[in-house]
Structure 1
Amino acid sequence: GRALMAFLGVVVGLLVMQDALGIGLAWALGQERLLGLLGASVTLSGGHGTGAAWAKVFAERHGLASATEIAIACATFGLILGGLIGGPVARFLITRYQLAPNLETEVATSTGFEEPNTVRPITAEAVIETVALIAVCLAVGSAFASLLNGTAFELPAFVCVLFVGVVLRNGLAVRGWYRVFEDAVSVLGNVSLGLFLAIALMSLRLGDLASLALPLFVILVVQAIAMAAYAIFVTFRVMGRNYDAAVLAAGHCGFGLGATPTAIANMQAITGQFGPSHLAFLVVPMVGAFFIDIANAIVIKLFLLLPLYG
């Protein structure tokens, strides 16, 4: 509804601000503009997966050296900072404006994100079904990405795979044919991410980043400060200046610098102390797990069209 659209607009605004700020800082520090783009929404709002995907594009098509190493370093830095600043930002807003949840509008039931210790058994059959669905997404999404190669609508393959997954999951649910088992998807996703990070980190040549350490540090620190300010002065105000808005601001810090799990952890910490916010736990996972990747890809493509990288 309206809250989702408003939050998506706020998120898109942050993507544009991060990329403009990153490119501007890279220029001011005498570095390649693409370095600033990697130290912006590509890795901060995008995370490790998006960063690695775009790093390959930057290296192959734009000649940026050590693009993968830069992407992984920026994404890791952002993941840590996103978890560190989300809680303090929400606490400041809650104490500054004396906010509290409206318990009359909160329903009695909680979502799985709000009660992470609630466990459902995962069977071998559920895992096999989930792997099959993922395989379909990979096959169809990769084919779709190949069709877009070389066109104005070209996107990293993972975005097409993600889109196919959303269509498949919702299409099956609407037709009543099959309901995806979220816990199985979560387990397989965490295992895949862990293996990906292990492989990526083993192949990194961190020594190549020695000359870029100071510029990267400056860019990332400024981005973290900008994220906190954006959450306080934009996210909180646009989303209604209430308790839900404060929790949303904490979540925005989590995936604006890191990833959706970081956003969930931030919100769990806040709601565990101050009270529930079902709106935040509905909106943040939807925007942080899907819409942001599509919006981020479009914003990055638009910035790459600018004549700034010669």
Structure 2
Amino acid sequence: MKPEIIALNGYYTLIAATIVLLIGRLLVQRIKFFQNFNIPEPVAGGLLAAFILSIVYSTTGHSFAIEKPLQDAFMLIFFASIGLSADFSRLKQGGMPLVIFLVIVSVFIVIQNLVGVGMASAMGQNPLFGLITGSITLTGGHGTGAAYGKILTERYGIANATDIAMIAATYGLVSGGLIGGPVARRLVNKMGRKPVEQTVEVDSKGSYDNQTFESAGHQRLITATSAIETMAMFAACLAFSSIMIKTFPDFKLPQFVWALGFGVVLRNVLTTVFKFDMFDRAIDVFGNASLSLFLAMALMSMKLWQLADMAGPMLAILAVQTVVMIFYAYWVTARFMGNDYDAAVLAAGHCGFGLGATPTAVANMQSITNTFGSSHKAFLIVPLVGAFFIDLVNMAILDRMMAWFGTAL
């Protein structure tokens, strides 16, 4: 039988993603290893799906392609939910810890790039290859990797830069989800903190419950009216982000930043100017569901046979980057953020977006807080820094480093 790519339309992509999530939940519930290391459910189910699909590919030559726009839509909805939850009156709570955390992760971006460039040069590779296996894909993710991959190919002649970036970003997404839980778990165990007893709570209708993204299993009352209002706001954020990307194609901000930013503006205009009663519980539920579906789709579409074919230098750099992230999160992030429980959750989040993406960071933190209790501080700081500020810092650092090393070639 002739090998072919089997394309899954939107319906089958959604069905496959939900099955992956249900299997992931079952794996985490039944396998002690996943519980002990706080592996997020989308990561557990997604990796299993990726292995199964790799076996199918190796035996039959058939591969599967999911509905990419659907995956992107769930990613945008998640980031829009962060923006729609960003009440300016609550953002002030971040204060100095938010600034300190931003400085910590900014320093790590520089270290990440220096490690990549240094190892690439030592192995006789183009120094810019080190940036692809540095913050372009690890801190930046797939979107930044795609954008800079095109630039590196067109301006600096690095062949297949975009393909390399996609593989590196996928590696980072998986490794970021795998190491965040264990790093935080070790920090928490050293503190002697015990798991909290999980109770099912149901919110009554009323004011903001201060639980956004922290407790994915926390039950929240949602009416049909609030669901429709929330979907309308998400639609506005996605539409605005699409218009801005098409209107300003040369502007380097990824689309999810536009969605997040417009969510912040929309939220505060509606609540401040029009005194709109924002239903945060609906935003929370839609955001958490979109987060899980996005991660499931991203991981089940991963082509492990491409990872197996990666060049030795790339594997070596990515492996070292993972070790550097572990040590930095454990010894620097946690220490400078206070060396307490909140700092441990922040370290898990840093592992998530320092190697993968903000959704991975949130999933890492949820896996910890679901066991050891909530961390309002971490869930206020990480989404803001990981999904908004750090992209601006990363782009500024990358542009400077590309100018330095590009000129040196």
| Global fold match (TM > 0.5) | yes
Partner of 2:212: 112
- Does the 8 Å contact 2:193/2:372 carry over to 1? no
- Does the 8 Å contact 1:141/1:164 carry over to 2? no
1:68 and 2:172 matched: no
Structure 1 CA distance for aligned equivalents of residues 338 and 302 of structure 2: 41
Partner of 1:49: 143
- Does the 8 Å contact 1:39/1:71 carry over to 2? yes
Query: What letter corresponds to residue 169 of structure 1 in structure 2?
Result: L
Partner of 2:380: 282
Counterparts in 2 of 1:270 and 1:130: CA distance versus 1, 3 Å: closer
> For 1:183-225, what per-residue CA distance to the aligned partner results, in whole angstroms no more than 9, with x for missing partners?
5566668778888899x979x9949x94x52111001000000
1:138 and 2:265 matched: no
Counterparts in 2 of 1:160 and 1:254: CA distance versus 1, 3 Å: closer
Query: What letter corresponds to residue 249 of structure 1 in structure 2?
Result: A
Unmatched segments (≥5 aa) in structure 1 = 102-108
Partner of 1:227: 325
Partner of 2:370: 272
Q: Offset of 1:8 from its aligned partner?
A: 0.8
1:33 and 2:127 matched: yes
Q: Offset of 1:272 from its aligned partner?
A: 2.5
- Does the 8 Å contact 1:247/1:270 carry over to 2? yes
1:12 pairs, out of 106, 109, 113, with 106
Query: What letter corresponds to residue 238 of structure 2 in structure 1?
Result: I
Structure 2 CA distance for aligned equivalents of residues 273 and 189 of structure 1: 19
Structure 1 CA distance for aligned equivalents of residues 150 and 223 of structure 2: 38
Q: Offset of 1:42 from its aligned partner?
A: 1.1
- What are the equivalent positions in structure 2 for 1:145-184 lying under 5 Å apart? 145-146=248-249, 149=250, 155-156=252-253, 158=255, 161=258, 164-165=261-262, 168-173=265-270, 174-176=272-274, 182=283, 183-184=285-286
- Does the 8 Å contact 1:79/1:254 carry over to 2? yes
- Does the 8 Å contact 1:140/1:164 carry over to 2? no
Q: Offset of 1:132 from its aligned partner?
A: 3.2
- Does the 8 Å contact 2:213/2:288 carry over to 1? no
- Does the 8 Å contact 2:116/2:317 carry over to 1? yes
Structure 2 CA distance for aligned equivalents of residues 83 and 70 of structure 1: 20
Q: Radius of gyration: which is bigger? A: 2
Structure 1 CA distance for aligned equivalents of residues 345 and 228 of structure 2: 37
Partner of 2:115: 21
Structure 1 CA distance for aligned equivalents of residues 184 and 287 of structure 2: 30
Counterparts in 2 of 1:242 and 1:160: CA distance versus 1, 3 Å: closer
Counterparts in 2 of 1:50 and 1:127: CA distance versus 1, 3 Å: same
- Does the 8 Å contact 1:93/1:246 carry over to 2? yes
Segment drifting more, 218-227 vs 256-265: 256-265
Q: Offset of 1:170 from its aligned partner?
A: 4.9
Segment drifting more, 248-257 vs 122-131: 122-131
Partner of 2:16: none
- Does the 8 Å contact 1:142/1:161 carry over to 2? no
> For 1:102-126, what per-residue CA distance to the aligned partner results, in whole angstroms no more than 9, with x for missing partners?
xxxxxxx551312212354674564
Counterparts in 2 of 1:186 and 1:139: CA distance versus 1, 3 Å: farther
1:259 pairs, out of 357, 361, 372, with 357
- Does the 8 Å contact 1:69/1:206 carry over to 2? no
Task: Report the identity percentage.
Answer: 41
Segment drifting more, 218-227 vs 80-89: 80-89
Partner of 1:295: 393
Counterparts in 2 of 1:206 and 1:66: CA distance versus 1, 3 Å: farther
1:78 and 2:172 matched: yes
> For 1:243-279, what per-residue CA distance to the aligned partner results, in whole angstroms no more than 9, with x for missing partners?
1111111111111111122212222222222232221
Counterparts in 2 of 1:71 and 1:99: CA distance versus 1, 3 Å: same
SS at match of 2:125: coil
Q: Offset of 1:289 from its aligned partner?
A: 1.5
Counterparts in 2 of 1:229 and 1:193: CA distance versus 1, 3 Å: closer
Structure 2 CA distance for aligned equivalents of residues 247 and 201 of structure 1: 27
Structure 2 CA distance for aligned equivalents of residues 159 and 62 of structure 1: 27
Structure 1 CA distance for aligned equivalents of residues 256 and 365 of structure 2: 26
1:246 and 2:344 matched: yes
- Does the 8 Å contact 2:213/2:362 carry over to 1? yes
Q: Offset of 1:45 from its aligned partner?
A: 1.1
